[in-house]
């Protein structure tokens, strides 16, 4: 019996190059029968291939040693992956068959298939199928040889995983999580794992789902995008630079724990608690908070990113509610230890917000996100006054700790703005002065309305700023320069909105309003239509 782990992804059928992955049980399929084989330089691998027919790879032999370059590269990739995993990172060695060699078969695979690691039960071993060409297979890694190496590294790590624990089908998400994670360690300049972050099965599109997926039919699909969590664990929890994760040990510890029994999820929780004095809920909520800023920074010069790959993808899909000023929002949400609960709002004005929280437990995890900042609000009763404007989103991310199962929150939302009536930017709705008041520097005409106007039935509205106590003279002239009307207004500081009535009827046509003060003279044109 064979259990097959393989990478299946679509050819380019859209601008986003969506990928799909599948896993299935295949019984009695057996190993391919190919013409010849090449023993890798280390002696650990046999690379099987055909010299002709549909399975044959590119037979170019640049060094004229009678071994196709493609085959030699596959062998070098296998040797390198094994050395890094077993000698450098100290994972257990793979389980080989009776001849002591690990077999890799180069064959023609379906359009959408990258490779397979097929598990055998008798003897307990595995072998790998890889495709005979990887040209144009990835949006995030455009070199065919790099894609070949990614596949060999990915599939061989599945072989290593088999030595820890046989695949049960419901742990597929973790096997794919770790294999996709290793790809970027193995070929660090390729970010192919990002191809799955924006797919329909990515946790980016199912942001409040539970972490683990034990459904054999879909578990593996969840796992591909979860490689990001593995990178988070390596860099933030294991405190390893993202470019040097080869020295990380946290994933190996989880595999060791998992090999002794229990579930993947329980193994992750145990390792985090026993070896790192943290919890899954805390790491998962922190991880999710950091992901909300994907695509916002171009480099690692910030305190949020755990991997440079975050700069290449968009943040998770979130639905926002609109904030309404000078209101109080009362809400609550259930919280769990295997997922996050998210409350999100979009500002439409300048607000000052005070947040208060209440839980059935004194311990819970929470993060407040605004602008380009993350605030840890775990176990807080309140969050001090803060500002948010119309270009900002507000997000609250909660997770369970110490059996907390619910969080109640109250958001006191007050409009911020200039509260000085004489200021140019006076906001009549503001209840908190934000210190942004701007005052005019000279007497100046701002606008007149409506324009056109019927002065027979309505007055002309005139808006102007006044900075001193001098009188303002307003005159109306027709198009020939004849004075039609004149009025004097006493000086009142600040922005003024006055109405101007003309006592006598005037004909339709073009007119001019002249604004005169001790500092300047301004003229605006308007049209009267009877």
SS (H, E, C) 344-373: EEECCCCEEEEEEEEECCCCEEEEEEECCE
* 306 and 333 together in one domain: no
Q: Residue 520 maps to which CATH number?
A: 2.60.40.3080
Three-state SS at 3: strand
Task: Please tell me the predicted confidence (pLDDT) of residue 217.
Answer: 58
Residue 438 lies in a domain: no
Residue ending a domain, among 267, 291, 315, is 315
User: Quick check: 497 pLDDT over 50?
Assistant: yes
Instruction: Report the number of secondary-structure helices (H) and strands (E) in the chain.
Output: 8, 24
* 394 and 510 together in one domain: no
Could you tell me if 130 and 115 are in contact, meaning their C-beta atoms sit under 8 angstroms apart? Answer: yes
Per-residue pLDDT tens digits for 154-167: 999 999 999 999 87
User: Quick check: 16 pLDDT over 60?
Assistant: no
User: Quick check: 14 pLDDT over 60?
Assistant: no
User: Quick check: 306 pLDDT over 80?
Assistant: yes
Residue 425 lies in a domain: no
Complete DSSP assignment for 447-473: EEESSSB-TTTSPEEEEEEE-SS--EE
Task: Please tell me the predicted confidence (pLDDT) of residue 213.
Answer: 66
Q: Considering only 24-28, 141-145, 263-267, 478-482, which range has the smallest mean pLDDT?
A: 24-28
Task: Please tell me the predicted confidence (pLDDT) of residue 124.
Answer: 78
Three-state SS at 29: coil
Q: How confident is the model at residue 391 (pLDDT cuts 50, 70, 90)?
A: confident
Q: Residue 151 maps to which CATH number?
A: 3.40.30
H helices of 165-263, in order, are 172-186, 219-225, 227-232, 250-259
Per-residue pLDDT tens digits for 409-438: 999 999 999 998 878 888 999 999 989 998
Task: Please tell me the predicted confidence (pLDDT) of residue 362.
Answer: 75
Residue ending a domain, among 295, 315, 335, is 315
The separation between the first and the last C-alpha atoms of the chain, rounded to the nearest angstrom, is 93
* 331 and 379 together in one domain: yes
Q: Which two tokens stand for residue 420?
A: 């000085």
Task: Please tell me the predicted confidence (pLDDT) of residue 72.
Answer: 98
Per-residue pLDDT tens digits for 231-268: 999 999 999 999 999 999 999 999 999 999 999 999 99
Averaged over 1-13, what is the pLDDT? 39
Q: How confident is the model at residue 484 (pLDDT cuts 50, 70, 90)?
A: very high
Task: Please tell me the predicted confidence (pLDDT) of residue 26.
Answer: 42
Averaged over 340-359, what is the pLDDT? 92
- State percent of the chain over pLDDT 70: 92
What is the b/e burial string over 172-204, where b = at least 16 CB atoms within 10 angstroms of the residue's CB?
bbbbbbbbbbbbbbbbeebbbbbbbbbbebbbb
Residue 427 lies in a domain: no
Task: Please tell me the predicted confidence (pLDDT) of residue 221.
Answer: 73
Q: Considering only 140-144, 373-377, 405-409, which range has the smallest mean pLDDT?
A: 140-144
Task: Please tell me the predicted confidence (pLDDT) of residue 18.
Answer: 28
Residue ending a domain, among 116, 144, 167, is 167
- Which among 155, 194, 172, 214 is positioned nearest to 25, based on CA atoms? 172
* 1 and 106 together in one domain: yes
Residue 432 lies in a domain: no
* 490 and 391 together in one domain: no
Per-residue pLDDT tens digits for 119-151: 887 667 899 999 999 998 887 888 999 999 999
* 14 and 142 together in one domain: yes
* 109 and 142 together in one domain: yes
User: Quick check: 514 pLDDT over 50?
Assistant: yes
Extended strands (E) in 42-91? 45-49
Q: How confident is the model at residue 214 (pLDDT cuts 50, 70, 90)?
A: low
Range of the domain at 376: 321-417
User: Quick check: 7 pLDDT over 70?
Assistant: no
Averaged over 193-210, what is the pLDDT? 86
Averaged over 79-85, what is the pLDDT? 98
Residue 426 lies in a domain: no
Three-state SS at 426: strand
* 295 and 380 together in one domain: no
Averaged over 385-393, what is the pLDDT? 82
* 85 and 11 together in one domain: yes
Averaged over 276-283, what is the pLDDT? 96
Q: How confident is the model at residue 405 (pLDDT cuts 50, 70, 90)?
A: confident
Task: Please tell me the predicted confidence (pLDDT) of residue 476.
Answer: 95
Task: Please tell me the predicted confidence (pLDDT) of residue 215.
Answer: 63
Residue 382 lies in a domain: yes
Contacts of 475 (CB under 8 A, 6+ apart): 483, 485, 486, 513, 514, 516
Element (H, E) at 131: strand 124-131
Q: Residue 405 maps to which CATH number?
A: 2.60.120.380
Could you tell me if 228 and 207 are in contact, meaning their C-beta atoms sit under 8 angstroms apart? Answer: no
> Rg of the chain's alpha carbons, rounded to an integer?
34
* 104 and 226 together in one domain: no
Peptide bond into 52 cis (omega under 30): no
Task: Please tell me the predicted confidence (pLDDT) of residue 140.
Answer: 83
Element (H, E) at 334: strand 327-334
Cα separation, 136 vs 129, whole angstroms: 19
* 237 and 386 together in one domain: no
Averaged over 460-477, what is the pLDDT? 92
pTM: 0.80
Task: Please tell me the predicted confidence (pLDDT) of residue 356.
Answer: 94
How many distinct structural domains can be found in the chain?
Answer: 4
Q: Which two tokens stand for residue 135?
A: 């040209």
Task: Please tell me the predicted confidence (pLDDT) of residue 3.
Answer: 47
Cα separation, 42 vs 26, whole angstroms: 31
Task: Please tell me the predicted confidence (pLDDT) of residue 286.
Answer: 97
pLDDT, mean over the chain = 89
Task: Please tell me the predicted confidence (pLDDT) of residue 15.
Answer: 29
Residue 430 lies in a domain: no
Averaged over 29-41, what is the pLDDT? 92
Complete DSSP assignment for 49-71: E-SSSTT------TT-SSS-HHH
User: Quick check: 105 pLDDT over 90?
Assistant: yes
* 287 and 337 together in one domain: no
Residue 437 lies in a domain: no
């Amino acid at each position: 019996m064979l259990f097959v782990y393989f990478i299946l992804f679509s050819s380019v059928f859209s601008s986003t190059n969506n990928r799909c992955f599948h896993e299935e049980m295949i019984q009695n399929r057996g190993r391919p029968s190919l013409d010849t084989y090449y023993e890798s330089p280390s002696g650990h691998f046999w690379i099987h291939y055909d010299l002709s027919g549909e399975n044959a790879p590119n037979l170019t032999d640049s060094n004229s040693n009678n071994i196709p370059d493609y085959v030699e590269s596959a062998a070098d990739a296998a040797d390198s992956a094994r050395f890094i995993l077993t000698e450098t990172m100290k994972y257990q060695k793979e389980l080989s068959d009776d001849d002591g060699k690990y077999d890799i078969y180069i064959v023609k695979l379906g359009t959408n298939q990258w490779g397979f690691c097929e598990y055998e039960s008798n003897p307990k071993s595995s072998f790998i199928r890889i495709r005979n060409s990887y040209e144009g297979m990835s949006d995030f890694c455009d070199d065919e040889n790099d894609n070949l190496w990614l596949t060999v590294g990915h599939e061989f790590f599945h072989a290593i995983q088999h030595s820890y624990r046989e695949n049960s089908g419901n742990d597929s998400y973790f096997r794919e999580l770790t294999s996709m994670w290793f790809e970027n360690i193995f070929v660090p300049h390729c970010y192919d794992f990002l191809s799955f972050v924006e797919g329909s099965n990515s946790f980016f599109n199912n942001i409040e789902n539970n972490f683990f997926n034990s459904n054999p039919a879909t578990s593996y699909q969840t796992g591909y995008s979860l490689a990001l969590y593995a990178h988070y664990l390596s860099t933030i929890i294991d405190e390893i630079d993202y470019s040097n994760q080869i020295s990380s040990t946290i994933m190996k510890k989880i595999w060791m724990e998992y090999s002794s029994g229990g579930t993947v999820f329980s193994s992750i929780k145990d390792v985090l608690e026993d070896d790192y004095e943290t919890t899954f809920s805390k790491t998962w909520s922190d991880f999710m908070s950091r992901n909300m800023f994907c695509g916002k920074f171009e480099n690692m010069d910030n305190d949020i990113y755990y991997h440079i790959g975050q700069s290449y993808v968009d943040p998770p899909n979130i639905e926002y509610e609109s904030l309404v000023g000078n209101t109080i929002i009362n809400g609550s949400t259930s919280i769990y230890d295997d997922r996050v609960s998210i409350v999100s709002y979009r500002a439409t004005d300048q607000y000052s917000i005070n947040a208060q929280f209440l839980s059935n437990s004194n311990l819970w995890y929470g993060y407040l996100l605004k602008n380009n900042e993350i605030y840890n609000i775990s176990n807080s009763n309140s969050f001090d006054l803060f500002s948010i404007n119309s270009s900002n989103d507000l997000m609250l991310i909660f997770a369970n700790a110490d059996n907390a199962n619910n969080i109640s929150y109250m958001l006191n939302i007050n409009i911020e703005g200039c509260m000085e009536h004489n200021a140019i930017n006076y906001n009549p709705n503001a209840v908190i002065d934000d210190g942004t008041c701007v005052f005019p520097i000279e007497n100046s005409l701002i606008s007149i309305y409506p324009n056109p106007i019927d002065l027979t039935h309505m007055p002309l509205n005139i808006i102007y700023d006044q900075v001193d106590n001098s009188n303002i003279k307003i005159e109306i002239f027709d198009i020939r320069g004849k004075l039609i009307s004149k009025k004097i207004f006493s000086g009142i500081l600040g922005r003024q909105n006055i109405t101007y009535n003309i006592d006598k009827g005037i004909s339709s046509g073009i007119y001019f309003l002249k604004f005169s003060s001790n500092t300047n003279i301004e003229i605006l044109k308007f049209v009267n239509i009877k």
